[in-house]
Amino acid sequence: MAKNALSFVCQNCGAAYNKWQGKCESCGEWNTLSEEDTTGATSMPANLRPKRKGRPFALETLTGSSPDAPRLSSGMGELDRVTGGGFVRGSVLLVGGDPGIGKSTLLTQATSLMARAGHRVVYISGEEAVAQVRLRAARLGLADAAVQLAAQTSVEDIIATLSEGTPPRLVVIDSIQTMWTDTVESAPGTVTQVRASAQALIRFAKKSGAALILVGHVTKDGQIAGPRVVEHMVDAVMSFEGEGSQQFRILRAVKNRFGPTDEIGVFEMTGLGLREVSNPSELFLSERDLGSPGTAVFAGLEGTRPVLVELQALVVPTTLGTPRRAVVGWESSRLSMVLAVLEAHCGVKLSGYDVYFNVAGGLRINEPAADMAAAAALVSSLANAPLPVDAVYFGEISLSGAVRPVAQTSARLKEAAKLGFGRAVLPENARGDAGGDAGLSLNTVGSLTSLVADIAARGSKATARGKTAASG
């Protein structure tokens, strides 16, 4: 009789070890290894397992026509934008995010809209009772939608129920961490159970043609396996982001086999659920503080959508031996590079100052085009020189201090003109890509030195005006 196969599995990345250790060598996390029984269906020794003869299958050629994957609209434009135009039949999506961020609210609204359109939609909740889901739907004004509900965690029972009658068009599993299958003996939420449960549900989706959405969440202590475990198994991975203190939420595609991975969907959390934001620039600039030093408007791009957002910087003398660098919404390494270029090529001495940098509204920026806007905000705060309130900034800064052009210049300028901005500070080589300046006054910058000199001159004039007013 074979002994139980016990191993220590990392609950963060799924790596297995023969003995316990404090740090996972695969992902580098500490105290994430837990003991699991991985015997399951493979407890029989390999030499005693029945040998199965392989079956031949048909081979295809590279030539030939393949029909486009039919898509099913969710009824929410922002969600369809991120998925690439809707849900593909037989596709599997993983929606991840922190607890309480609004994943269940988003999916409740999407399933209700699809059910109202006449599609069979099934919502399986492993964390909440049916009554709790109904209360949420009533609060959102969606109680009349014909969504089929169930509170179940057994994968075998779920698949047997879904296989009866007409195949559903959309199935939501909320969440995959609560599911369990009889094929393995580990506890629900462990890496082994999450992987086995996801495999069974994915096989059903591919066979029936139903679109499947798996909800995953990550706790702060990292003991429950996060959505990383099944990222390679699904067709798309969506990240639902946002701060609890902020009113908006962002749905971002991390992986997508049927669409782009650089699109975002913007939602606003209200008392009646999530409201789609078709123009996120107005939302991010709605509470902008005009005329304050250390603020610059960045004309960014998220996928095909231009987004304008305010960058805030605060530079103050430090009382510490090592100056502090605090960054929210931007890469700290990118800020360190901009600070180094300012000090090395522009003569801006920041080694004796604490630097605080923030992207207003909680948006996270990833593109290098924000370098020039960040530099403008930093120098503006240091020189106490307010930047023009009708100007936008974008451009990538190289280590030599040169300002390099970025993609989609015309789209950024058109968005700025639509929101009432009158001028744009952009790289010198990007003038030819403007494709029509959209009525904006263009101020091209070839190197970061000229930008710093311009802002410093504005600071000197502001100081002179202040002294004149005080003496008068």
**Rounded Cα–Cα distance for residues 234 and 227 (Å):** 10
Could you tell me if 178 and 223 lie in one domain?
yes
Across 78-83, average pLDDT: 93
103 is in an annotated binding site: yes
- Provide the pLDDT for residue 460: 63
Pairing between β-strand 305-317 and β-strand 441-445 as defined by DSSP bridges: unpaired
- Provide the pLDDT for residue 141: 93
Could you tell me if 260 and 300 lie in one domain?
no
**Of the spans 161-165, 347-351, 373-377, 426-430, which averages the highest pLDDT?**
373-377
Which own/partner pairs from 456-459 qualify as long-range (CB within 8 Å, at least 24 positions apart)? 456/379, 456/383, 456/385, 458/383, 458/385, 458/386, 458/387, 459/380, 459/383, 459/384, 459/385
Reported as half-sphere exposure (CB side, CA atoms, 13 A), residue 160 has a value of: 7
Could you tell me if 256 and 333 lie in one domain?
no
Q: Is 442 exposed, middle or buried (0-12, 13-18, 19+ CB in 10 A)?
A: middle
pLDDT at 43 over 60: no
Could you tell me if 249 and 302 lie in one domain?
no
99 is in an annotated binding site: yes
- Provide the pLDDT for residue 37: 67
- Closest of 418, 112, 106, 141 to residue 248, by C-alpha: 106
Domain boundary among 244, 278, 312: 278
Average pLDDT, the chain: 85
CB atoms within 10 A of CB 259: 19
Residue 48 lies in a domain: no
- Provide the pLDDT for residue 228: 65
Could you tell me if 273 and 286 lie in one domain?
no
pLDDT at 61 over 90: no
Task: Report which DSSP code applies to 126.
Answer: S
Could you tell me if 258 and 228 lie in one domain?
yes
Residue 67 lies in a domain: no
pLDDT at 432 over 80: no
Q: What residues contact 82, with CB distance under 8 A and at least 6 apart?
A: 238, 251, 252, 253, 256, 259, 263, 264, 265
pLDDT at 51 over 70: no
Map 256-316 to HEC letters.
Answer: ECCCCCCCEEEEEEECCEEEECCCHHHHHCCCCCCCCCCEEEEEEEECCEEEEEEEEEEEE
Could you tell me if 230 and 130 lie in one domain?
yes
CA distances from 1 to 33, 35, 51, 427 (A): 28, 21, 20, 72
pLDDT at 58 over 60: yes
Across 264-276, average pLDDT: 90
Give the domain extent around 382.
Answer: 282-470
Domain boundary among 254, 278, 302: 278
pLDDT at 6 over 50: yes
| pLDDT band (50, 70, 90) for residue 145 | very high
- Provide the pLDDT for residue 304: 81
Phi, psi (degrees; rounded to nearest 5) at 447: -140, 160
Residues of the chain with pLDDT > 70, as a percent, come to 86
Across 381-398, average pLDDT: 93
Q: Which residue has the higher pLDDT, 94 or 66?
A: 94
- Provide the pLDDT for residue 125: 94
349 is in an annotated binding site: no
Across 387-404, average pLDDT: 94
102 is in an annotated binding site: yes
| pLDDT band (50, 70, 90) for residue 184 | confident
- pLDDT 10s digits, 17-34: 888 888 888 878 888 888
For the chain, what is the domain count? 3
Could you tell me if 314 and 419 lie in one domain?
yes
pLDDT at 404 over 90: yes
Q: Which residue has the higher pLDDT, 423 or 279?
A: 423
Name the pTM for this structure.
0.76
371 is in an annotated binding site: no
Decide: 251 and 240 in contact? Cβ < 8 Å. Answer: yes
Across 39-60, average pLDDT: 61
Could you tell me if 270 and 399 lie in one domain?
no
Residue 343 lies in a domain: yes
